[in-house]
Amino acid sequence: MIILSARYNVFPPLCFRLFMFMHRRMAITGSDVTLQKIIPISYDFSVVEVSSPEELAVVGEVTFLNEEIEFKLPFGSHTRLFLSEVNRAWCGKPSTSSVYHAKEPGSLPSIAASTGKIAKRGKCFPFPENNLLISQERVKGEGRNELVRLSTHTVSNKAQMLTMPQFGLRDTLIKCELLKNEDAYTYIENFSFFLGTYNVNGQTPKESLRSWLGCTPQPPDLYCIGFQELDLSKEVFFFNDTPKEQEWMKAVSEGLHSDAKYALVKLVRLVGIMLLFYVKKEHAEHISDMEAETVGTGIMGRMGNKGAVAVRFRFHNSDVCVVNAHLAAHVEEYERRNQDYRDICSRMLFRQLDPTLSPLTIMKHSIVLWLGDLNYRISDLEVDHVKDLIMKKDFETLHNHDQLKRQMDEEAVFVDFLEGEIEFQPTYKYDMGSDKWDTSEKCRVPAWCDRILWKGKNITQRHYRSHMTLRTSDHKPVSSLLEIGIKVVNEESYKRTLEDIVRSLDKLENECIPSVCLSKSEFHFKDVKFMQHRAETLTLHNDGQVPCKFEFIKKLDEPAYCKPWLTANPSRGFLAQDSVDIDLELFVNRSTAPELNSGQQQLEDILILHLERGKDFFISISGSYLSSCFGSSIHTLCQLKEPIQDMPLETIRELSLMATSETNSPDTEKALDIPKELWMMVDHLYRNASKQEDLFQQPGLRSEFEEIRDCLDTGMPDTLPGSNHSVAEALLLFLDALPEPVIPFSFYQQCLECYFTSGQCKMIISMLPQCHKNVFNYVTAFLRELLKNSAHNRLDVNILAIHNKAVWDEPDQKHCMKSVGV
């Protein structure tokens, strides 16, 4: 892997240089990368555009003196930012004839960088993304197909014009009016989208995918192919690196419809969840504004064994979002699946070209395509009854017991989404390599886990089917062919509309001063709790004569416009002759909780709302925070024998101040050996969950976590509520939120130096502050008990190391755990 970075340089006569680093796996520390080459950005330096005949990509060719290096960069905001900096650096180019080599490079593996344009002598060219290959062989550009046109501001590329970073008020007004009058210059043209989903159960491809991907009579215009459980190995959690990515991508490329040429636009993967986006090459020039994001919903809401990957893009003049999701497993966990869906919808945020604008959510797109292993099962029927209905092909009766259908009917999830009629048998679970239902000891009830849904106008489904001939996995792949009406620009109509808008704006300009009124200017949030989302709505009403731009601006000497526990959404925007609602969202997490718990900070802030060419408004934010054991220090909690919310804030503040000076010598007569909250969670798990399958891997419910948090903070009830999985996740969140980890930061360097040596590791543990040492020994004793029951709970050192980083925040958790006897 090669990483490009542009750096300032203090040595004359050069101001900028391009640094090329190489690493073979995911870089974790500085020692994992090697400086490969340094190229001065000078008169002798250029980046030119060439095109790839195999993939949808504009490939860059760096030329310095007589040496050429070909590279590709992923399309997206990172790439745009990076190459814009390279372009700026070239504008101040000095002349030089020197090039610096760290060492003679061998054959270079793949490259990852972070922008979406290639700078060419002052011009910028857009290109879609892909993981790049770098080669030191000279690659000729002659004869290659141009796949993406220039991103110039012309009427022939309206989609690009509407997404270009024009941030002035006049440009915003023009863009807004163009969107309002879109029907005047666009028409609907149908394109075929092939959507496919396949849970491959960690297997490698063993058979051709043509029967799945090439099953349509005519070649589709676009392919969106989702995989789940691409790799089930534990290593993929550490490195997010797997050879199966390339194996399945190759199998897909070979399985696409043979009557058309396709280009890979984007590959995005989160652990085992992967999405591939292909397009017919003749449509490539109409793909723009591509972004990709991922959201993990596994344990602690972060791990990527469950979650989603997504891409958003503009096709002609329609914005499309494609989501590939893998939701929580097990029949009884439908509420957890609902929560995963809501988390994905709220946390999947796509950056816009203007970095100061609020990110786009999934539901902000006019077309949303959602596929994946959604894991909803069939309820209230015995396995034999289900199989009997399948034999009779009575899918309608069976579908009435489908959890996803029931949840959609109750509008708990996928509101306004549609799914085609299911006329194929359930796609899960089969014996591997066969069409037989699960014959294992668990004998799982067949279910339609693998689904494809859509949301938007002008969408017609042409087929929805499973593909029984593929037997690689315990799932069967599913496909859906959608005919989608896409907005296409009529160039002449667009030109006339633009001219009319510009003329009308000329008349309005400088005639009026913008003015708005606020629904209220003071907001108070009462009894805020740790990791509890709270929101109030501020309504802006335009009572002036002209549209206006608003923005929350930073106060003097402040790093941001608001405190870190507060967010205004949107933080800036455009207000026409109407109103806009701004959500003032408050959320206290592990970063902000410690100072609020100790009383060093309060929930108080002043927001400044600025009107362009208008006045400023001041909005007061206040609130009361309920202290929590989450985000409190080990030392403080050991001093508290009563629930933290029963203690005066002044007492907590004094104990927090003592922690910095007395950590190494706590008053053992007054202090508890370990925090009582930690004891309650560990004791509960020891008594009830030592043999619990998937402990620390299956997430809990947020509602149950809130009950557990309130129980720990108030002392009521006496026993912890919720499932074992929710208590396990609460334990991890507790450790993760500690202001000072169990192994304090001051010991990190020593840990780095001796984590392979058992004796030295034990010596470091003996040097810990007494309360930290007690917690360490208590938690590791509990982990040893869990490992004794590994035959039942399926835990091992690798899994515990992944999921207990709050305790093992070191470079090699596995070796350290073994060194201290876990």
pLDDT at 302: 65
Residue, of 692 and 191, whose pLDDT is higher: 191
Q: Name the amino acid, one letter, at 260.
A: A
User: What are phi and psi for residue 568, nearest 5 degrees?
Assistant: -105, 125
For residue 79, the SS3 value is helix
C-alpha distance from residue 360 to each of 180, 354, 377, 697 (Å): 19, 11, 31, 30
From 177-186, 543-552, 673-682, the region with the lowest mean pLDDT:
543-552
- Band (pLDDT 50/70/90 cuts) for residue 53 is very low
Beta strands (DSSP E) in 456-547 are 459-466, 478-489, 516-518, 522-528, 534-542
Work out the mean pLDDT of the chain and round it to a whole number. 81
Quote the pLDDT of residue 708: 96
Residue 110: its H or E element: strand 110-112
pLDDT at 732 over 50: yes
Classify residue 118 by burial, with Cβ atoms within 10 Å: 0-12, 13-18, 19+: buried
DSSP H or E segment with residue 806: none
My answer on whether omega of the bond before 717 falls inside 30° of 0, hence cis, is yes
Helices 676-688 and 702-714: crossing angle in degrees, nearest 10, is 130
By CB atoms closer than 10 A (0-12, 13-18, 19+), residue 253 is middle
How much of the chain, in percent, has pLDDT values that exceed 90? 57
User: Across residues 624-631, what is the average pLDDT?
Assistant: 96
- CA 285/CA 314 separation, integer angstroms: 11
> In this predicted model, which residue has the larger pLDDT, 33 or 345?
345
Q: Is the pLDDT of residue 4 over 70?
A: no
Residues 336, 699 contacting (CB under 8 angstroms) = yes
Backbone angles phi, psi at 676, to 5 degrees: -60, -30
Q: Contact 349/357 with Cβ under 8 angstroms?
A: no
Residue-level pLDDT at 33? 67
Q: What is the average per-residue pLDDT within 394-412?
A: 96
Q: Please tell me the predicted confidence (pLDDT) of residue 85.
A: 72
Write the pLDDT tens digit of every residue in 267-293.
999 999 999 999 999 999 899 999 999
Contacts of 713 (CB under 8 A, 6+ apart): 529, 626, 627, 628, 629, 643, 644, 645
Which of 232, 228, 216 is closest to 477 using CA atoms? Answer: 228
Q: How far apart are alpha carbons 141 and 150 in whole angstroms? A: 16
β-strands 367-373, 318-326: how paired? Answer: parallel
Strand order across the beta sheet in which 459-466 lies: 262-270, 273-280, 222-228, 186-199, 478-489, 459-466
In our burial notation (b when 16+ CB lie closer than 10 A, e otherwise), range 780-805 reads: bebbeebbeeeeebebebbbbbbbbb
Looking at residue 549, its amino acid is: K
Residue 30 pLDDT greater than 60, yes or no: no
Is residue 512 over pLDDT 80? no
Give the pLDDT confidence score for residue 502 in this predicted structure.
Answer: 85
Enumerate residues 6+ apart whose C-beta is below 8 A from 243: none
User: Which residue bears the tokens 């240089």?
Assistant: 17
Q: What is the DSSP string of 301-347?
A: GT-TTSEEEEEEEEETTEEEEEEEEE---STT-HHHHHHHHHHHHHH
What is the DSSP-derived secondary structure letter of residue 361?
P
Residue 73: strand, helix, or coil: coil
Which range has the worst mean pLDDT, 209-218, 375-384, 508-517, 544-553? Answer: 508-517
Stretch 367-381: mean pLDDT, rounded? 97
Paired strand residues for 269:
274
Structure tokens at 379: 């309820």
* Burial track 740-774 (b if 16+ CB lie within 10 A, e otherwise): bbbbeeebeeebeebbeeeeebeebbeebbbbbbb
Strand partners, 61: 48, 70
Q: Give 583's strand partners.
A: 537, 569
pLDDT, one tens digit per residue, over 759-773 is 888 889 999 999 999
- DSSP state, residue 203: P
For the entire predicted model, the pTM comes to 0.72
Handedness of CA 106, 110, 115, 119 (dihedral sign): positive
Q: Which of 242, 271, 238, 300 is nearest to 812 (CA)?
A: 238
Q: Which residue has the tokens 């007589």?
A: 66
Tell me how far CA of residue 666 lies from CA of 22, 739, 773, in angstroms. 48, 17, 12
Q: Nearest to residue 169, comparing CAs of 611, 776, 770?
A: 611
Give the number of other Cβ atoms within 10 Å of residue 123's Cβ.
13
Q: Is 402 helix (H, G, I), strand (E, B) or coil?
A: strand
Burial class (CB in 10 A: 0-12, 13-18, 19+), 354: middle
- Give the 3-state DSSP-derived string for 626-674, with helices as H, strands as E and coil as C: CCCCCCCCHHHHHHCCCCHHHCCHHHHHHHHHHHHHHCCCCCCCCCCCC
pLDDT tens digits, residue range 233-255? 877 776 678 899 999 999 999 99
**CB-based contact 297:343 (threshold 8 Å):** yes
Band of pLDDT at residue 665, cut at 50, 70 and 90: very low
pLDDT of residue 158: 37
